[in-house]
Structure 1
Amino acid sequence: MLGAGAAMPIPANAFGNKEKLRVVLVGTGVRGISFWGKRLVEQYPDLLEFVGLSDINPGRLDFAKTYMGVSCPVFIDFDQMISETKPDLIIVTTKDSNHHEFIIKGLNANIDVLTEKPLTIDETKAQAIIDAEKKSDKNLIVGFNYRWSPYITKIKELLNNGEIGEITSVDFNWYLNNHHGASYFRRWHGLMDSGGSLWVHKATHHFDLLNWLLDSDPVEVFAYGDLEHYGSNGPFRDTNCRPCAHKADCAYYWDITKSKHDMDLYVANEQHDGYLRDGCVYRPEIDIYDKMSAQIKYANNAVVNYSLTTYSPYEGWKIAFNGMKGRIEAWLDIPFMNNESMSQEELHAAEMNQNSNEDMMFEPLVLHKNWEDYKIIQVSSERSGHGGGDKRLHDKIFINPDAADPLKHSAGLRDGVMSVLIGVAARKSITSNQPVKIADLTSIKPTANRT
């Protein structure tokens, strides 16, 4: 496993033979206490137990304990939690810029670590994680959930089966609407030092999909990006929405008081760390990009054109694979293609819902082989839990860790590093106005065929 860490994905192997997996969580924001917290407590009570929660905010810790329905102790001091609880698994859901600290401490303490994406925010921290993993005999798992959705899995199957031959180019466009997209600029994600920009925090999902679907590593990135909609571009501003004098005039005014959950988790605990969950999207300190476009060259000679929009009137994505023998086109959540009537806010809430009993739906994709008529393939899909990926990821980790994984859904160190490095290279390219080589960033070098 030591040798495999830097060379191939690490599967989510079994964590031990104890009756219940002893789990601790560091970072009790909404992602941590819901997806990696409450859902695990409710879905796997016979398989795992939380033995500790850690956060710098004591108020959020108290709320998390009640919300998750656990009776474990809470800790401001992470090291103390590890020493006293002796966990089998550490789940890291802190601010992105701190992921590396807890990953490295866990690996150094000979404990398995599962981190929320992104792995980290820059190449220096990525290298520190690589070095720590090499010295450890424990697993590092990255929580890439989009891979596991039935719709994305179907695309992977078609590509693996050679339906359109060797892939030569890809067009990938992701649209964040002015509800979800704006939310990143309200939060700590709007600061480069905290989240590494949406090139890393958000696009790591997308880049991981590309790496996995193409079964190859990126070798070079050239990118453009700018901040021209949010931040200091706004016509007015305040620290956050609640005291703002421009509520009636601001299209991005968000009334956090309508959400009891956000009020209890964040507003009630602002006095402990000063974090304002309803921050102004026009704050002058915002320094990430809101317009992004990149060209990515892969080791197998495929070229990807990628773009991310953060203020679209609708949310969804489109992807097209061009191959020697044809083309695959796929898309999800484009409202006018499905005659959707649900609001964009409601659509996002439905996607994030972890407990929906919504029936399976069918979504189309187009398979068009050269010299043949195109075919519409109806693919089973789900809306909740990131297209059904969330529950499949959890089941693989906690119920079926040793199950066959023919499509290599499970993600480890290499996957986390390579997805982050595309975003890091994009940032560097924007600054230098030059292409950036992935091989220059860390000790993990690109390969043409990851299998």
Structure 2
Amino acid sequence: MKNSRRKFLSSVSMLAATTALPLEAFAFNASKKLSVVLVGTGIRGITFWGKRLIDQYSDIIEFVGLSDINPSRLAYAKTYIGTSCPTFSDFEEMVKTTRPDLVIVTTKDSTHHQFIIKGLEMGCDVLTEKPLTTDETKCQSILEAERKSKKNLIVGFNYRWSPYATKIKELLMNKTIGNLVSVDFNWYLNTYHGASYFRRWHGNMNSSGSLWVHKATHHFDLLNWWINSEPEEVFAYGDLEFYGKNGPFRGDNCRSCQHSSNCDFHWDINQDKFMKALYVDHEHEDGYIRDNCLFREDIDIYDKMSAQVKYTDNTTLNYSLTTYSPFEGWRVAFNGTKGRIEASQDIPYLKESTISEAEKHQKEMTQTDQEDLSFESIIVHPLWQPHQTLAVPMEKNGHGGGDKRLQDKIFRTSDIDDPYGRTAGIRDGAMSILIGIAARRSIENKKTIQISELTDLKPRKQRS
């Protein structure tokens, strides 16, 4: 147990992506398990950062507190996670009472900064779900808080850890196509998954920062890591043309809507036992409705997005995000001085799938260690030569197998060197959201936005 806990705390230092800290910088009693508190008991919090930690790492971790503003959902979360720890409505009281080693933040995006900053100020290391935060002012406050605290902040990026994404990184690291010149990246959200964002608080700019931040932070982190450079400037377009006020009709929520018989997007949350137990049964406490109408008029985020990003090494990125595609998947193409790499996932006319469009997101979010392997292709096309097709192992569960590999790196294998540099810290979290924030500002101001103008974090040409 002593060695396992030391390995974890060492990994916190590495994941922070700052200067390496000696183990002596962490105040802990090595004879005890790592003490953890969780704030925010939504679906990601209680599953991936809750129940899975109990199931897989209970020999080195113990929950000492859970916090949420919704008391009845908090009680449900405690039972679901399988912990006997106390619960708190007040975050500061929880930290003062339990004195945890690690705070895990899984609240609404726009409140991440509150708990990150307070956790650091109160002497805790902090792990936050993506995105780091929702605007440049909050980002700057987080950066300053981490510097002052001498504690560490890590961001739970998981896409880097999927075997498929790692293979792309390997090919680029090995200069398979020479020096990188440009990248084209297109992400397609289907009418099940894409629509779900517009039912929730994510549909309001003040809560999510728009999908430029909440969703695209995943994509921009992957791209920053693959390209191995940092963004310098961004120009973007975006609009709301499908959801929100554009709908043909609207109701209070899906379950009671008078248009349910003729709405293609109708979803009865009461038919999903888990979602009903986690959300519907507790909405009387705080008024949070999980199945809001996705055509309500107060939606103010974009449902179509396109951006150009110039990196400090002169690589250019063409990016788009579609939120009402007939299928869920993505494509990426890398152009280099010696050829081209093409990769894609779940494009239905390229490979027959056994998973329906309705099931795709559920499969991605499923937390299970049972292998569900398939093989996906990556095309490598050198200049002047025939293309090669590489068959790469691929998992569907847990974000392409990235979820479990991320947690294993943190808690089990932190002492093993990672040649692909998949660990991500505060700088990575900031650079990923700053692209999305810059895209928003570009749309608002109709001009190119310099990343260096947003915070005091200046882009570097290449990670050290």
Interval of TM-score (by shorter of Structure 1 and Structure 2): over 0.9
1:11–1:411 Cα contact (<8 Å) kept:
no
Aligned position for 1:133:
146
Counterpart amino acid of residue 147 in structure 1: R
Instruction: Note closer, same or farther for the CA distance 1:6–1:407 as it changes in structure 2 (3 Å cut).
Output: closer
In structure 1, what is the equivalent of residue 308 of structure 2? 295
Mark the runs of 5 or more structure 2 residues left unpaired by the alignment.
1-9
Output aligned runs, 1:4-403, within 5 Å. 8=17, 16=28, 17-355=30-368, 357-403=370-416
Which of 418, 426, 442 aligns to 1:413? It is 426
- Aligned-pair CA distance for 1:400: 2.1
| Conserved? CA contact 2:16–2:425, under 8 Å | no
**Which amino acid is 2:441 matched to?**
K
- In the TM superposition, what is the alpha-carbon distance from 1:342 to its structure 2 partner? 2.5
% same residue: 61
Shift of 1:345: 1.5
**Contact 2:186–2:330, Cα closer than 8 Å, also in 1:** yes
- Give, in whole Å, the separation in 1 of the partners of 2:363 and 2:105: 25
1: distance between equivalents of 2:291 and 2:398?
Answer: 24
Amino acid at match of 2:191: N
Deviation at 1:351, TM superposition (A): 1.5
> What per-residue deviation string (whole Å, max 9, x for no partner) do you get for residues 399-448 of structure 1?
12232122211110100000000000000000111000000000110111
Whole-angstrom CA distance in 1 between matches of 2:170 and 2:459? 23
Q: 2 CA distance for matches of 1:273 and 1:235?
A: 29
- Determine the C-alpha separation between the residues in 2 that align with 1:30 and 1:11: 33
Which amino acid in the other structure matches residue 400 of structure 1? T
Q: CA RMSD in A?
A: 1.8
Tell me how far apart the structure 1 counterparts of residues 412 and 382 of structure 2 sit (CA, whole Å): 39
SS in 2 for 1:336: coil
The offset of 1:359, in angstroms, is 3.6
| Mapped contact 1:6–1:130 kept (Cα < 8 A) | no
Query: Runs of 5+ in structure 1 lacking a partner?
Result: none
Q: Matched residues in 2 for 1:19 and 1:165: separation? A: 50
User: Contact conserved, 2:232 with 2:452, CA < 8 A, in 1?
Assistant: yes
Q: Which amino acid aligns with 2:316?
A: V
Q: Which amino acid aligns with 2:171?
A: L
CA change 1:395–1:87 in 2 (3 A) is same
Letter in 2 for 1:394: Q
What SS does structure 1 have at the residue aligned with 2:409? helix
In 1, the alpha carbon distance for the partners of 2:15 and 2:422 equals 17
CA distance in 2, matches of 1:321, 1:212: 13
* 1:426 partner letter: A
1:61 is aligned with what amino acid? L
Q: CA deviation at 1:262?
A: 0.9
TM-score (structure 2 length as normaliser): 0.94
Give 1:11 shift: 7.9
Distance 2:346 2:204 in 1: 28
SS of equivalent to 1:295: strand
2:16–2:152 Cα contact (<8 Å) kept:
no
Amino acid at match of 1:178: T
Alpha-carbon distance in 2 for matches of 1:7, 1:75: 28
| DSSP 3-state at the match of 2:342 | strand
What is the CA deviation profile of residues 1-23 of structure 1, one whole-angstrom value per residue up to 9, with x for unaligned ones?
9xx99995578997753431100
CA distance in 2, matches of 1:12, 1:163: 35
1:99 and 1:13 mapped to 2: Cα distance?
A: 28
Deviations 1:110-157 (A, max 9, x none): 111000000000000000000001112211110000000000000001
Q: Is the 1:12–1:397 contact (alpha carbons within 8 Å) kept by the matching residues of 2?
A: no
**Any idea what the Cα deviations from partners look like across 1:16-75, whole Å, max 9, x if unmatched?**
534311000000000100011011110111010111000000011000001011100000
For the residues of structure 2 that align with 1:360 and 1:12, how far apart are their CA atoms?
A: 38
After superposition, the C-alpha distances for 1:333-392 in whole angstroms (9 at most, x for unaligned) are 112212114211112211211115234221110011111111001111111110000000
Please give the secondary structure, in 2, of the residue aligned with 1:181.
helix
Count of equivalent residues: 449
Scaled by the length of structure 1, the TM-score of the pair is 0.97
Q: Quote the Cα distance in structure 2 between the aligned partners of 1:43 and 1:356.
A: 10
Query: Is 2:439 the counterpart of 1:439?
Result: no
Structure 1 stretch 49-58 or stretch 9-18: which is displaced more?
9-18
- 3-state SS of 1:36 partner: helix
Letter in 2 for 1:185: F
